[in-house]
Amino acid sequence: MKYAVVTFGCRVNQADSLGVEAALTAAGATAVSSETADVVLVNTCSVTASADQGARQTIRRIHRENPGARIVVTGCFASRAPVEVAALPGVSAIVPNTAKSTLLPLLGVASAEGPCGRVPGPGLMGRTAWTLRAQTGCDEACSYCIIPKTRGTSRSRTLGDILAELRRVLAAGYKEVALTGVHLGAWGRDLTPLNALGELLVALATEPGDFRVRVSSLEPMDCTDAVLDVIAGHPGRFAAHLHLPLQHADNDLLAAMRRPYTIERYAALVDAVRRRLPEAAIGSDVIVGFPGETDRQADALATYLEASSLTHLHVFPYSDRPGTAAEALPGKVHGAVVKARAQRLRDVSRTLATRFRTAQTGRTRPALTIDDGRTAVTDNYLRVPVPPGRARNEWVDVVVPPPEGAVAAG
Ligand code: SF4
């Protein structure tokens, strides 16, 4: 069977897609482009209206280019709007997030690990790192967010299950894993006995092997001293990289978003991370145009971000998600204003990234080669070109170059 997987959205979707691709490959199926595939799996996102639109357009394009393909759609858009997705041309099956365990049998594969229990090596879906999902679902109630509806409540994998997957992917040759979850910081709270993310990180820190863990997005309230102690205490194991979603710098808007912290607490956290991990990349997510956002509040957000030691931003223009509390809020911001505010923050993000890269220029950092081996990603999340002669998935020490140059140190 020839198959293609098209993935939108977050690292959890990427983890789910990687698992499917690993199982299909191990079962003897061949990955091809969507134009020539017998089956195309589209793993959708619904975090914004434009995510929905991207999925719709992609499904229409796949059907136009390859009318004979069986299109199977899963993920958050398929879970939120199954009737709408099923009516799109060429769609033969919908698999909501709650039924993802049926996905592999539907695609004709019995096991998530392939017949011999092995995982195909790095390069699946063009990725060098393995995305290791620790949990899914979320118990928070952020007023703008559709995810608790599409993913359900928080469900953690057991420590044994996570470590077993880690050992399989290390045996397959992976050297970096991205630890992820819909609400990663909630890991262990639903397990018996109760557990906490810090304990999972300790287990990963003490696991034998030559590998690095990149902790993906962590809610500010979950980036505790215990978590920072483990990450900062094991620099050879954990990448100097955190992603701490802020969403807004105005406390009234944070309250309206039902985010359980203030800007003062968030700023103190970023300062603490910077003190403990001086070389770290620290990313953030921000929402512009939340209902009621004034010019003054938008200015306050830009002002905080410009002065912060954050290093890059993901900017999300607000859009109503059906059935969320924010959908019912008054004071919707005009689309043109949202667009302008988003553009301003993307400019701020570029400034922060340039500032970080300039500060890092000339420093030697550990890095892993990706793609064809001509590029490496440092532990602190800088892409650095490397001279020819390297393959994908090799450790190198690189001297961080200015934007136009590159020097490999090892
Ligand atoms: S923490 Fe908030 S934004 Fe993140 S998935 Fe849960 S509800 Fe959504």
Residue-wise pLDDT tens digits, 209-257: 999 999 999 999 999 999 999 999 999 999 999 999 999 999 999 999 9
Gap from CA of 379 to ligand 1 centroid (Å): 26
Model pTM above 0.85: yes
Q: To test the ligand 1 pocket, which listed residue (183, 248, 261) has its Cβ within 8 A of the most ligand atoms?
A: 183
Specify the pLDDT at position 285. Answer: 98
Strands across the sheet containing 155-156 = 155-156, 130-136, 176-181, 212-215
Q: CA angle 403-405-408, nearest 5°?
A: 120
Specify the pLDDT at position 408. Answer: 40
List the one residue out of 300, 370, 386 whose CA is nearest residue 125: 370
Specify the pLDDT at position 58. Answer: 97
Strand partners, 242: 282
Q: Is 185 in the pocket of ligand 1 (CB under 6 A)?
A: no
Q: What is the pLDDT of residues 112-139, one digit of tens each?
A: 444 445 677 888 777 899 999 999 999 9
Max CA-CA distance within the chain? 60
Q: Is 142 in the pocket of ligand 1 (CB under 6 A)?
A: yes
For the CA of 219, the nearest atom of ligand 1: 1
For the CA of 247, the nearest atom of ligand 1: 3
Q: Is 287 in the pocket of ligand 1 (CB under 6 A)?
A: no
Token readout for 17 is: 């897609």
Could you tell me the pLDDT band of residue 10, with boundaries at 50, 70 and 90? confident
Q: What is the pLDDT of residues 165-207, one digit of tens each?
A: 999 999 999 999 999 999 999 999 999 999 999 999 999 999 9
Contact call for residues 73 and 85 (beta carbons, < 8 A): yes
- What is the chain's mean pLDDT, rounded? 93
